[in-house]
Amino acid sequence: MTDAQIRPLIDIDGSAAALTSKAGMLLEQARWAAQIFQRYDRGSTLSIAEAVARVAHGKAAEFAERTVAETGFGVAAHKRLKNELSSLPLVEHYRSHDFVNPAVNEAQKIVSIPRPAGVIFALAPSTNPIATVYFKILSALMTRNAIIVSPHPAAAETSLEAIRCLARAAEAAGAPPAAVQGVTEPSLPLIEQFMRSEKTDVILATGGSAMVRAAYASGNPAIGVGPGNAPVFVDASADLTAAARHIVESKSFDNSVLCTNESVLITLPQAEAGLLREMKKAGAHLCSEAETAALRRLLFHERGFNVETLGRDADWIAGQAGIKVPPKTRILVTPITLIGHNEPLSREKLCPVLSLYLARNKAQALTQARQLLRFGGAGHSAAIHSRDQQTVLDYAAAVEVYRVAVNAPCSQGAAGFATHLAPSFTIGTGFYGRSSIGENIGPQHLVSWTEVAWNRDSNEVLDLQALTRLHHPGPLPEAPSDGVPGKTGAEGRAPPPAAPNHRGNSHRDDSLREEIRRIVAEELRAAMKGRSHGRT
């Protein structure tokens, strides 16, 4: 894919008309790609996804290093792992899912035909930029959707290179041109244009609460996720050594930028001493009252969380707070006596600082865990370490979340990498969190199904072999570009025809399509002219 096909116009001003044109060009190309992609059969679709996943996996370490250098936070080795898990293992997890062929329920005489969403507009955060880019692009490719990804400005350079890399791999493997695109100069006004456009079929939003709310307010279908603030409860029946290890590993993983990380540890008097002893062995520093007060002042101000501490390591944060900690300290533990608005340390903390609350008994522990989530993180995640299965069920029923990691690190467990939950860095918060979906988001949420139902009283017998076959004509044949007879492929491909607007055509849309055709044709002619003079 050429850079002209990947990037929007960047030499125009920020006026409303210019932003509309800028968004419209990418969306028109994406709509064309989406319609062509729906012609592909399952084998071709899987082949494309696998090829892109291999490229993504091979670049995981490089992009991890570049992300840390660009954003200034996180741990490169952990980001590499997240990137790798969001590539080949993701495709392997969904290999048995058929998002292309009809599904037949013979007993109920219902045939379900998969219908890809079409054009996906996706947002990527700064905390998990490459893993999210990988995850969303591969989810789109596995379901024959076109996707436009808008990276977070703080991680835009590396994210855009990853988008371009995967776009080239997708087209090389046979995907339609413009099936994967990126927004090179993301801004709030431009993002709003994409969100509100009638050419956007669904918004896949991962980011702050304000951005997710904007996605839901756009008037287009949206799949959004909310913030986390996960409680973790450890009772006296738990394997305290394993619990301590899991909690410290989870809270220090990528310096706690995953929204599934533990925020407040709740335990009981019977478990407290043994648990804290094991946590110290695992690399935790238990703060004094004065140290806790210093961290409270550092991490929170009148506007909320101090983003300067986001994803920083424990030593750096301790130094900024004037606290001396032992070498190789992995997390800082701050004892608190309240959970709620009067205690900022009971809020979400995307850094390796874990608050500790000592409950009097199990009933109070469950009440406080529930209260914590009402203070923030409703619908998201929780964790428990216990060998009493009744306690596990009581806890899960009490906390208003849609995933509970049991005897596992919450960061990796709730995201599906230390449990058998669906692997995802886009975590649905459901009704509790004011989101449309409560489970871990995956490619299955980018497909709807047309159900063909026969009369239940009919004696008609279904031809199962016939009903599972759909005609998939495959990619469009190559065609020579105007003025370049005999050339095909990347050099000679004609600009993509404007796809019909399924929500109604207008003179304005026709004019925009004509302008897009003209711009694309001019860029291609200029590119080919440059090649003829030896330029690359």
- Cβ atoms of 13 and 452 within 8 Å: the answer is no
Considering only CA atoms, which of 255, 261, 248 is closest in space to residue 333? 248
Q: 3-class SS at 528? A: helix
At 20 the pLDDT is: 79
458-462, 491-495, 520-524: range with highest mean pLDDT:
458-462
Q: Which helix (H) or strand (E) holds 285?
A: strand 284-286
Is residue 31 in a domain? no
| Domain co-membership, 199 together with 335 | no
| Domain co-membership, 209 together with 95 | yes
Q: Is the pLDDT of residue 532 over 70?
A: no
Q: Identify which has the larger pLDDT, 459 or 32.
A: 32
| Domain co-membership, 211 together with 241 | no
| Domain co-membership, 115 together with 234 | no
Is residue 290 in a domain? yes
At 419 the pLDDT is: 94
Confidence of residue 141 (pLDDT cuts 50, 70, 90): very high
- Express each pLDDT in 335-344 by its tens digit: 999 999 899 9
Q: Is 259 a catalytic residue?
A: yes
- Express each pLDDT in 488-519 by its tens digit: 333 334 445 444 444 544 444 455 455 545 55
Q: Is the pLDDT of residue 189 over 70?
A: yes
Pairing of strands 300-301, 304-305: antiparallel
Q: Is the pLDDT of residue 195 over 90?
A: yes
At 522 the pLDDT is: 54
Q: Is the pLDDT of residue 6 over 80?
A: no
Task: Find the distance separating the first CA and the last CA of the chain, reported in whole Å.
Answer: 14
Average pLDDT over residues 251-263: 96
Return the minimum-mean-pLDDT range out of 150-164, 187-201, 415-429, 500-514: 500-514
CA distances from 121 to 49, 165, 484 (A): 19, 18, 34
Considering only CA atoms, which of 321, 344, 318 is closest in space to residue 329? 318
**Beta strand segments in 433-486, E:** 447-453
Is residue 419 in a domain? no
Q: Is the pLDDT of residue 170 over 90?
A: yes
Average pLDDT over residues 514-533: 49
Q: Is the pLDDT of residue 93 over 60?
A: yes
Confidence of residue 478 (pLDDT cuts 50, 70, 90): low
Is residue 503 in a domain? yes
At 491 the pLDDT is: 36
Q: Which two tokens stand for residue 26?
A: 């990418």
Residue 458, judged by CB atoms within 10 A of its CB (0-12, 13-18, 19+), counts as exposed
- Express each pLDDT in 15-27 by its tens digit: 677 777 889 999 9
The DSSP secondary structure of 319-332, one letter per residue, reads HHTT----TT--EE
Considering only CA atoms, which of 482, 361, 523, 368 is closest in space to residue 6? 523
At 346 the pLDDT is: 96
Strand order in the sheet with 202-205: 180-182, 146-150, 119-123, 202-205, 222-224
Q: Is the pLDDT of residue 275 over 50?
A: yes
Confidence of residue 534 (pLDDT cuts 50, 70, 90): very low
| Domain co-membership, 244 together with 178 | no
CA distances from 474 to 5, 117, 138, 200 (A): 21, 18, 19, 24
Is residue 460 in a domain? no
- Express each pLDDT in 197-243 by its tens digit: 999 999 998 866 777 788 888 889 999 887 899 999 999 999 999 99
| Domain co-membership, 89 together with 175 | yes
At 111 the pLDDT is: 93
| Domain co-membership, 41 together with 155 | yes
Considering only CA atoms, which of 181, 71, 78 is closest in space to residue 425? 78
CA distance 165 to 183: 14
Q: Is the pLDDT of residue 121 over 70?
A: yes
Average pLDDT over the chain, rounded to an integer: 87
At 19 the pLDDT is: 76
| Domain co-membership, 268 together with 387 | yes
Q: Which two tokens stand for residue 348?
A: 């979400």
Q: Which residue has the tokens 């900024």?
A: 320
Q: How many domains does the chain have?
A: 3
Pairing of strands 230-234, 382-385: parallel
Helix axes 76-85, 42-58, angle to 10 degrees: 170
| Domain co-membership, 198 together with 275 | no
| Domain co-membership, 194 together with 266 | no
Average pLDDT over residues 176-199: 93
Asked which of 367, 397, 414 is the last residue of a domain, the reply is 414
| Domain co-membership, 141 together with 162 | yes
Return the minimum-mean-pLDDT range out of 159-163, 183-187, 383-387: 183-187
Q: 3-class SS at 251? A: helix
Q: Is the pLDDT of residue 158 over 60?
A: yes
Is residue 432 in a domain? no
Question: Biggest alpha carbon distance in the chain?
Answer: 82
CA distance 320 to 498: 55
Asked which of 425, 450, 475 is the last residue of a domain, the reply is 450
Look up the CATH number of the domain holding residue 294.
3.40.309.10
Confidence of residue 88 (pLDDT cuts 50, 70, 90): very high
Of the residues 165, 259, 287, 410, only one is catalytic, namely 259
Is residue 1 in a domain? no
Q: Which residue has the tokens 């986390």?
A: 228
Q: Is the pLDDT of residue 122 over 60?
A: yes
At 266 the pLDDT is: 98
Confidence of residue 2 (pLDDT cuts 50, 70, 90): very low
pTM, to two decimals: 0.85
> What does the angle CA 250 – CA 393 – CA 388 come to, to the nearest 5 degrees?
75
Q: Which residues of 393-403 are buried (b: 16+ CB within 10 A; e: fewer)?
A: ebbeebbbbbb
Q: How many CA atoms does the CB half-sphere of 192 hold within 13 Å?
A: 11
Is residue 2 in a domain? no
Considering only CA atoms, which of 125, 194, 190, 192 is closest in space to residue 155? 125
| Residue 497 structural domain | 489-532
Return the minimum-mean-pLDDT range out of 7-21, 279-293, 518-532: 518-532
| Domain co-membership, 68 together with 159 | yes
